[in-house]
Amino acid sequence: MDLGRTFAIFRKELIHIRRDYQSLIQVVLLPVMLLVLYGYALTFDIKHVPTAVYDQEKSRVTQDFLRNFEGSQYFDLRYWVGSYDDIRRLMSARQIRLALVIPYDFSHSLKSGETAKVQAIIDGTDANTANIVQGYVQGVAQAFNQDILIERMNLKGVSQAKTPVIARIRFWFNEDLESKNFIIPGLIVIIMTMVGALLTALTIVREVERGSMESLLATPLKKTELILGKLGPYFLLGLLDLGIAVAMGEFLFQVPMKGSIVLYVVLSSVFLLVMLGMGMLISILSENQLQAYQMATLITFLPAFLLSGFVFAIPLMPKFLQFASYLVPARYLVTICKGIYLKGVGLEVLWPSALMLVFFAVFFLALAIRRFHHKIG
């Protein structure tokens, strides 16, 4: 392979990208748009749940109970209603997600030593949100129960009673449980997938449609030199987008990187080679640019978004999808990103994922070169 001829193709493709300034602007703005949109819109932190209260008793005791909800950041008591019809109307209009119904005998049950019942009506259209809201309600109720039990024991003269078991919970790696701390690293993987695959998927088929491929093949240029020369500019653009995404994560979203930035860039570069190889292979196999774009979206972007563990936890998927996720290269970079960003681990832990990325890079680049030889030859 002649490096001079490879560099000539590299320079030719770079000039083409520079002249197509609209596409260049899109490539540069892509990480900015995705990070801003998903970084702010996609969140699993559920706070200030709009809540309605149907207090049938309206006593001091019920006010004390509701004060526990008012003092929590997870609930926003917006409506005080007088019937179930009001609750149905507000929940149907999606103005509330939770309704608390306190019966007329609430304080009487507490004073008589019986169990007082409170009904929590939760909007179940979003099952995940409903489960989280249910946990919040149960947590507030348990805290109120503990206060009542302590008060009852004090009345009986048991003032030194202690809870037999206390679970002291401590979160590692994401101490504040901020969803942005794992969403942003995953978004960077999606950005690298789109830049690497969707752009290179158009390179070869574009030359064929324009009729310039025959002119290139008439030169002493080897097919391997042609492919590698065309991949070079997109590799640099991918690194540029990676730098923009990492900088936005650090300074805009305040997502700290606890591990090695050098290791992160190196392994992300290997993943970028995987995506470039996949995009080039798609371009070689496609008949036109529209087909190449559709194939790239179906084969690279959608699996990366759904099966990489970025949004949906892989262990919670059906077994056949868990096995299918091993064929998605983005899965391994998501693991690497979370390990470096959140845990600060190094290659001694991440080497299996790194090795899989190297394998995919060699496999897709070699397959693209082989298929190009077969198609042109």
| Nearest of 260, 300, 263, 298 to residue 279 by alpha carbon | 300
Question: Do residues 305 and 340 share a domain?
Answer: yes
Question: Do residues 75 and 29 share a domain?
Answer: no
Q: How many domains does the chain have?
A: 2
Contacts (Cβ under 8 Å, ≥6 apart) of 280 = 200, 201, 203, 204, 227, 230, 231, 364, 365, 368, 372
Question: Do residues 201 and 251 share a domain?
Answer: yes
Q: What are phi and psi of 55, to 5 degrees?
A: -95, 105
184/82 Cα distance (integer angstroms): 44
Tens digit of each residue's pLDDT, the chain (377 residues)? 677 878 787 887 788 777 777 767 777 787 888 888 877 777 666 888 999 999 999 888 889 889 989 888 889 999 999 999 999 999 999 999 999 999 998 888 888 878 888 999 999 888 778 888 998 898 888 888 877 777 766 666 665 556 666 677 777 887 777 778 888 888 899 888 988 887 788 777 776 666 666 666 666 677 777 778 888 888 888 899 899 999 998 888 888 889 999 999 999 999 999 999 998 888 888 888 788 888 888 888 889 988 998 888 898 889 999 999 999 999 999 999 989 998 999 999 999 999 999 999 999 999 988 887 655 55
Position 314 in a domain: yes
In this structure, how many other beta carbons lie within 10 angstroms of the beta carbon of residue 220?
7
Question: Do residues 23 and 112 share a domain?
Answer: no
Question: Do residues 207 and 320 share a domain?
Answer: yes
Question: Do residues 223 and 102 share a domain?
Answer: no
End of a domain among 119, 140, 155?
A: 155
Contact 264, 337 (CB under 8 A): yes
Position 273 in a domain: yes
Position 72 in a domain: yes
Q: Could you tell me how many helices (H) and strands (E) the chain has, helices first?
A: 17, 4
| Nearest of 250, 268, 269 to residue 258 by alpha carbon | 250
Position 70 in a domain: yes
End of a domain among 123, 155, 187?
A: 155
Position 166 in a domain: no
Q: What are phi and psi of 170, to 5 degrees?
A: -135, 130
| Nearest of 187, 185, 193 to residue 336 by alpha carbon | 185
Position 164 in a domain: no
* Global pTM value: 0.78
Question: Do residues 17 and 61 share a domain?
Answer: no
Question: Do residues 212 and 245 share a domain?
Answer: yes
Q: Which residue's entry shows tokens 């491929």?
A: 213
What CATH code is carried by the domain that includes residue 90? 3.40.1710.10
Question: Do residues 84 and 230 share a domain?
Answer: no
Position 54 in a domain: yes
354/363 Cα distance (integer angstroms): 14
Q: What are phi and psi of 79, to 5 degrees?
A: -125, 140
Pairing of strands 49-55, 119-122: unpaired
Can you give the pLDDT at residue 32? 84
176/318 Cα distance (integer angstroms): 30
Question: Do residues 237 and 99 share a domain?
Answer: no
Question: Do residues 25 and 55 share a domain?
Answer: no
What would the two tokens of residue 326 be?
A: 């091993």
Question: Do residues 39 and 70 share a domain?
Answer: no
- Residue-range definition of the domain harbouring residue 134: 49-155
End of a domain among 155, 170, 201?
A: 155
Position 104 in a domain: yes
